[in-house]
Amino acid sequence: MHLALHGSCDPAFAPVRAAFASNFERFPELGAAVCVAVRGRVAVDLWAGFRDAARTAPWGGDTIVNVFSATKGAVALCAHALAERGALDLDAPVAASWPEFAAAGKGRVRVAQLLDHSAGLPALRAEPPEGALHDWQAMTSALAAEGPFWEPGTRHGYHAVTFGFLVGEVIRRASGRRVGAFLREAVAGPLGLDLHIGVGAEHDARIAEVPPMIAGPGGGIGGAFAASLRDPTSLTSLAFTRPRDLVSPGFINTARARRAEIPALNGHANARALARMYGALANGGALADGGARVLSPRAIEAALAERSRGLDAVLLAESRFSLGFMLPSALRPFGRGPRTFGHPGAGGALGFADPDAGLGFGYTPNQPLASGEGGDPRWPALIDAVYACL
């Protein structure tokens, strides 16, 4: 069946178009979009395939999809924007603005430790009530009462789900607005991004369905992480399966999940939004086509500096983080420059900035492929093609 590619591509970036088309032949791709911004200008904006598993609804230029943990990069940007405004001190104790958080010996935990995954709160020990994942107060209250799994600051472990509630509540306390509203005000609005945390019913008709995850080449996830995930008592399992709503089949496609603000994993966007967001960060904080500067060059440098490195207590592999952004590693390689930063998502979504190349990259598929060390198998050809064209 002939693949219909849509969108635009600068002739100088024709290899990216070819790599994108090739991914539909090499992998069980359903629908996807890829976008590349260079020096603040969009050079590639392509989409293809279908937004439903039945292959009846073509992917459109306005299609958005759940980008899972790629949402974390947008949340981190919100925190840095607040810090630059002087409304949030990243080095201050969390409890300075969220007094309840001081419970269980957390009075000295700093905001920066929430961002770099060293706070020791990657999970909840007790299973919260059904529906807690969609209940902001239930999740933030449970986390405020929880004790750290390790002494904060002594190691790091991926806060897969809790990151969004922890950093999101700090954003709410500092700005007076929920993270979804602040994202619209400080990031999505100024940059013209189709990016949402908590998406309204008016967008449902253009949201791509996310089918169940299937194995990628090589069989998908394995090793210590997979073994630990099978143990319901392990920290890895607690971090990825609690609350239980997380493992409810198809929950990510429900109206309830779309409306809720689950800032670590339910942002909805397209590749254009991710590429423009990171394109601004790779271009001194603003896009070349106008609009406000969302972050100063100095703040960007602070945001991308490495803060955590080594064996991840949750992922059980080597990982690297800055203040809220993931940095490339053997576990999740992306970008090629030494100052590259961004965030991938479990479904295969990826957004990153390479300031040295002036590059912002976004990729948003809707068919999740299980992938272990090395990241999503659909990334390398796209990324290699992008860098070959610079």
Range of the domain at 103: 6-389
pLDDT at 372: 81
Q: Which of 69, 228, 322, 371 is catalytic?
A: 69
Between the alpha carbon of residue 153 and those of residues 103, 129, 266, 313, 324, the distances in Å are 17, 30, 27, 12, 15
Is the pLDDT score of 1 beyond 60? no
Question: Does pTM top 0.85 for this prediction?
Answer: yes
Element (H, E) at 223: helix 223-229
Determine the average pLDDT of the residues in 252-258.
96
Q: Is residue 242 part of a domain?
A: yes
Q: What values do phi and psi take at 277, rounded to 5?
A: -60, -50
Q: Which residue has the tokens 């069946």?
A: 1
What total of structural domains would you count in the chain? 1
Is the pLDDT score of 46 beyond 70? yes
Could you tell me where the DSSP H helices lie in 102-151? 111-115, 136-145
The string of pLDDT tens digits covering residues 276-312 is 999 999 999 999 987 789 999 999 999 999 999 999 9
pLDDT band at 216 (very low <50, low <70, confident <90, very high): confident
Burial of residue 348 (CB within 10 Å: 0-12, 13-18, 19+) is: buried
**Average predicted confidence (pLDDT) for the chain:** 96
pLDDT at 293: 94
Q: Is residue 1 part of a domain?
A: no
Is the pLDDT score of 45 beyond 70? yes
Largest pairwise CA distance in the chain: 60
Q: Is residue 355 part of a domain?
A: yes
Please list the residues that pair with 363 across neighbouring strands. Answer: 34, 350
CATH assignment of the domain containing 126: 3.40.710.10
The string of pLDDT tens digits covering residues 137-157 is 999 999 999 999 999 999 999
Is residue 322 part of the annotated active site? The answer reads: no
Burial of residue 266 (CB within 10 Å: 0-12, 13-18, 19+) is: buried
Distance CA 231, CA 136 (A): 28
Q: Is residue 227 part of a domain?
A: yes
The string of pLDDT tens digits covering residues 180-206 is 999 999 999 999 999 999 999 999 999
Determine the average pLDDT of the residues in 24-42.
97
- By DSSP bridging, strand 350-354 and strand 31-38 are unpaired
Is the pLDDT score of 168 beyond 60? yes
- By DSSP bridging, strand 6-9 and strand 41-49 are antiparallel
* DSSP conformation class of 234: S
Least confident of 58-67, 123-132, 256-265, 371-380: 371-380
pLDDT band at 26 (very low <50, low <70, confident <90, very high): very high
Q: Is residue 324 part of a domain?
A: yes
